[in-house]
Amino acid sequence: MPNFTALRAGLVTFKGDPFLAAPDACLVYEPDAIVVMGGGRIVDAGPASEVLRRLPQGVTPQHYPDAILSAGFIDAHVHYPQTEMIGAFGEQLLEWLNKYTFVAEQNFAEAAHAQRVAGIFLRELLRCGTTTAAVYCTVHPTSVEAFFAESARFNTRMIAGKVLMDRHAPAALLDTADLAWSQSSALIERWHKRGRQLYCVTPRFAPTSSEAQLEVCGALRRATPDTYVQTHLCENLDEIKWVEALFPERKSYLDVYAHAGLVGPRSIYGHGVHLTEADFCTCHQSGAALAHCPTSNLFLGSGLFRLFDAKQAKRPVRVGLGTDVGGGTSFSALQTMGEAYKVAQLNQTRLNAIQAFYLATRGGAEALHLQDTIGTIAPGYEADLVVLDRKATPLLAFRSEYCKDIVEQLFVLMTLGDDRVVQATYVAGECVYQRGEEETAFRYPAAAAGAAADVPLPG
């Protein structure tokens, strides 16, 4: 029999896509709810007045007054090795890669460095309420081992992979098509579907992989069809011109990936700032997803992602939110939602709070084709939850007094909030982060012991 635990607070979740239906009809809100968890999953959820009558014997809910329970946030695009260079000054994409990114990533040949950064990175995600992410490692297998090992200790559901590059990067960061196959195959064998870990074939972007290596990426995907693919797409205008020069026989940047067999379900493309209507149609038809990374696009001057074009009802594309650290400037899904709102405003559209929270939860799960597993608070789903404190700061406490309804409250949280709003983060039903003293804020859950038993502890 599983051990049952329960949480009590307000609750928000979703029962539909608010870009395709009336937003109010897609939002589920219970001002006083209880969520019961057992065996890593949600076993009951609903109004407290109803759930209290059917609580398992001996279970007393952990009560979070003035808080809102949400499904854990989902980050569809982030680079853990770039944690050490977040906030690097002054460049656009291609110059930024050469000046900062490629320099930092060379450090991950050292296992101790990779372990240290993986530990910091995952704790920053959990501090911000993010329980699942699609993560880029580096070209070094050690970087992947370090990341998955630390994720296994926290029992988080993570998607990650070794970056593949065989040209147009420093020699210390290059592999080959053969190494891409052998090293990725070994990592897939070791980590894919081990516990809650999922593997992602990860060519950095078309300019840094030869056609031979892209073909290997397609072969890796075919060899293990339920793995993921992640890469970058149409982020920057100079990048697009470079791809056109490198692949003159292809119809578009996206066609480079399609030719290699890298367009389909569980394919996640970061940015997509400068996509055509034909590109959107291809993503819709194939089930591929886009990761909207507003803080990065603004910080690097890449452009404004056309979210409402992507989500057109006639051919909606799966879209999640990505922090894209370190081009992005925050690990916080709340801050990312706030910046997505501003990008939408600059595009003469309006992103409401229901749509924004959907993108960070159920929408992100749909982007990852995990909509039946995570991203929703309902019985049967994995119990990844975040507790959001309406009164986390004096300003939020004051402003929240004047919110007329839950939609305004959510909008205030995403425009004024940051990691301080996250009171607690639960992974597979166990609390792994509780806001408080740094040395006691994080804990490895007991449920992770089996998955991580053969993984050495850091330090």
Q: In whole numbers, what is the pLDDT of the chain averaged over residues?
A: 96
Location of each CATH 2.30.40.10 domain in the chain: 4-71+376-447
Q: Alpha carbon 46 to chain centroid distance? A: 27
The one-character DSSP state at 98 is I
Q: What tokens does 358 get?
A: 């959907």
Contacts of residue 257, defined as CB under 8 A and 6 or more positions apart, other chains included, come to 206, 214, 231, 233, 263, 267, 269
pLDDT at 357: 98
CA torsion angle 113 210 236 203 (round to 10): -40
For the stretch 350-398, pLDDT in tens is 999 999 999 999 999 999 999 999 999 999 999 999 999 999 999 999 9
For the stretch 224-271, pLDDT in tens is 999 999 999 999 999 999 999 999 999 999 999 999 999 999 999 999
CA–CA gap between residue 170 and residue 256 (Å, rounded)? 23
Q: Is this structure's pTM higher than 0.85?
A: yes
For the stretch 276-312, pLDDT in tens is 999 999 999 999 999 999 999 999 999 999 999 999 9
Phi, psi of 76 (to 5 degrees): -85, 0
For the stretch 42-101, pLDDT in tens is 999 999 999 999 999 999 999 999 999 999 999 999 999 999 999 999 889 899 999 999
pLDDT at 458: 39
Weakest mean pLDDT among 111-120, 196-205, 292-301, 448-457: 448-457
Q: How confident is the model at residue 449 (pLDDT cuts 50, 70, 90)?
A: low
Location of each CATH 3.20.20.140 domain in the chain: 73-331
Q: Count the Cβ atoms, other than its own, within 10 Å of residue 245.
A: 9
CA–CA gap between residue 29 and residue 32 (Å, rounded)? 9
Q: Count the Cβ atoms, other than its own, within 10 Å of residue 358.
A: 26
Per CATH, domain 73-331 is 2.60.40.680: no
pLDDT at 453: 43
Q: Alpha carbon 137 to chain centroid distance? A: 14
pLDDT at 438: 72
Residue 454 has pLDDT above 80, yes or no: no
For the stretch 305-350, pLDDT in tens is 999 999 999 999 999 999 999 999 999 999 999 999 999 999 999 9
Q: Count the Cβ atoms, other than its own, within 10 Å of residue 38.
A: 18
pLDDT at 118: 98
Please tell me the CATH code under which domain 4-71+376-447 is placed: 2.30.40.10
